[in-house]
């Protein structure tokens, strides 16, 4: 019995079209960079122009080549990819450059011994002039401002979180789109947009009415910051409470659990990871505020751990005063160095807070696994 075999004649597949070789993007990059360098050499070289021109030439080159070799659909795809990646690079550039500049300018001050552990108490133009003239290390530090920032932010959090969380519980669980709930939502939105200096003036005026004009303490600053923080906490917690499935509430009700217990023991624990990270981000939002602290807590050079009396310094106001009124007007160098180092510390704190928010979210997230 003969076996019939069919041999299909080899031909070009009808399913494929022309393709760019895999080295194509690298070749175009190389060509674009060289060409851009040549053009820049003619008109006068600068790095930024070179980068931008290279990117533009790369896009044109790759898209044209792709259109010729692969057809218009692939070319459009390449063009869109180039635009998306380009936008991403533009967006990330300022961020990287801020971190880089603060790192470069702040590190020398930060590694100076005693910078984190001493205050500016007793540091005057005299010491700064000496350290510039003799080349000895810059004296003075940010201990008082660091403690001020931590204490003021802590008190602001203590004030804002209960108010914000309870407000969002009202909005989600009891509000039912009533007129009061709608009004609260509207005013929270308005509060999100008020300039921070207005919050500072509000707190200053409030405490001027309560305990006499010119009352400047850390607590007044904390009240000012909590005015800024509450709307953020309300908004983020509201979103988190909203996404708790209604089925869980019904499950609890069906077991004969009262509404307040359901909220306390089912709804909030289910949403706690989102609420905690929202609170952390709200803290990160207010920790760098300058203007409201300047008008409510003043600025100090001594360590003051009592938020209820006396002026207090914080990192942003420390940076502000060091830059604007250098300790030694003749030699602002040491003050500038301290300001940059304080800025670096502030950025590190905000980064740690964001990192903490992620850890908190992961720690509290509903457990999975078998």
Partner 1 sequence: MSKRIDVKDLNVYYGKFLAVEGVNINIDARSVTAFIGPSGCGKSTFLRTLNRMHEVLPGARVEGEVLLDGDNLYAQGVDPVTVRSQIGMVFQRPNPFPTMSIRDNVLAGVKLNNRRISKSDADALVEKSLQGANLWNEVKDRLNKPGSGLSGGQQQRLCIARAIAVQPDVILMDEPCSALDPISTLAVEDLINELKENYTVVIVTHNMQQAARVSDKTAFFNIAGAGKPGKLIEYADTQTIFSNPSVKATEDYVSGRFG
Interface positions with partner 1 (CB under 8 A): 176, 245, 247-258, 261-262, 265-266, 269-270, 366-370
- CA-wise closest residue to 131 among 121, 123, 122: 123
The nearer residue to partner 1, 96 or 359, going by C-beta atoms, is 359
The nearer residue to partner 1, 100 or 253, going by C-beta atoms, is 253
The answer to whether 323 touches 336, Cβ cutoff 8 Å, is yes
Please report, for residues 126, 184, 269, 270, the alpha-carbon distance to residue 264 in angstroms, rounded to integers and kept in the order given.
Answer: 59, 22, 7, 10
312: tokens are: 């207090």
The nearer residue to partner 1, 144 or 249, going by C-beta atoms, is 249
The nearer residue to partner 1, 89 or 251, going by C-beta atoms, is 251
The nearer residue to partner 1, 178 or 358, going by C-beta atoms, is 178
d(CA 230, CA 171): 14
The answer to whether 246 touches 335, Cβ cutoff 8 Å, is no
Residue 59 phi, psi dihedral angles, 5° rounding: -60, -50
* Greatest extent of the chain over all pairs of C-alpha atoms, in Å: 114
The nearer residue to partner 1, 42 or 254, going by C-beta atoms, is 254
d(CA 208, CA 307): 16
In the 8-state DSSP scheme, what is residue 9?
Answer: P
Residue with tokens 């080349």: 135
To the nearest whole angstrom, how small is the minimum distance from the Cβ of residue 174 to partner 1?
11
d(CA 25, CA 1): 56
């Amino acid at each position: 019995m003969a076996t019939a075999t069919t041999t299909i004649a080899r031909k070009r597949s009808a399913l494929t079209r022309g393709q760019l070789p895999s080295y194509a993007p690298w070749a175009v990059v190389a060509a674009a960079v060289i060409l851009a360098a040549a053009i820049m050499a003619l008109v006068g070289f600068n790095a930024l122009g070179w980068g931008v021109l290279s990117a533009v030439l790369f896009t044109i080159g790759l898209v044209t080549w792709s259109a010729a070799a692969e057809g218009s659909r692939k070319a459009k795809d390449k063009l869109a990819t180039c635009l998306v990646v380009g936008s991403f690079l533009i967006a990330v550039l300022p961020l990287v450059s801020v971190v880089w500049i603060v790192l470069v300018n702040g590190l020398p001050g930060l590694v100076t011994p005693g910078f984190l552990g001493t205050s500016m108490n007793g540091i005057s133009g005299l010491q700064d002039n000496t350290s510039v003239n003799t080349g000895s290390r810059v004296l003075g530090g940010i201990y008082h401002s660091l403690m001020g920032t931590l204490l003021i932010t802590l008190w602001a959090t203590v004030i804002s979180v209960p108010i914000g969380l309870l407000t969002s519980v009202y909005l989600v669980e009891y509000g039912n789109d009533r007129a009061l709930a709608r009004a609260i939502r509207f005013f929270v939105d308005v509060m999100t947009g008020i300039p921070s200096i207005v919050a500072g003036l509000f707190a200053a005026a409030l405490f001027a009415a309560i305990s006499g004009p010119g009352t400047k303490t850390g607590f007044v600053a904390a009240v000012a910051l909590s005015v800024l923080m509450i709307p953020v906490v309300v908004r983020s917690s509201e979103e988190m409470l909203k996404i708790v499935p209604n089925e869980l509430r019904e499950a609890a009700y069906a077991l004969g659990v009262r509404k307040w217990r359901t909220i306390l023991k089912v709804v909030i624990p289910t949403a706690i990871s989102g609420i905690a990270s929202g609170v952390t981000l709200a803290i990160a939002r207010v920790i760098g505020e300058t203007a409201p602290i300047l008008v409510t807590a003043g600025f100090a050079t001594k360590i003051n751990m009592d938020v209820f009396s006396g002026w207090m310094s914080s990192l942003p106001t420390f940076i502000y005063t060091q830059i604007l009124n250098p300790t030694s007007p003749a030699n602002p160098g040491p003050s500038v160095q301290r300001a940059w180092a304080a800025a670096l510390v502030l950025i590190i704190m905000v980064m740690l807070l964001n990192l903490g928010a992620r850890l908190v979210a992961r720690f509290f997230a509903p457990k999975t696994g078998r």
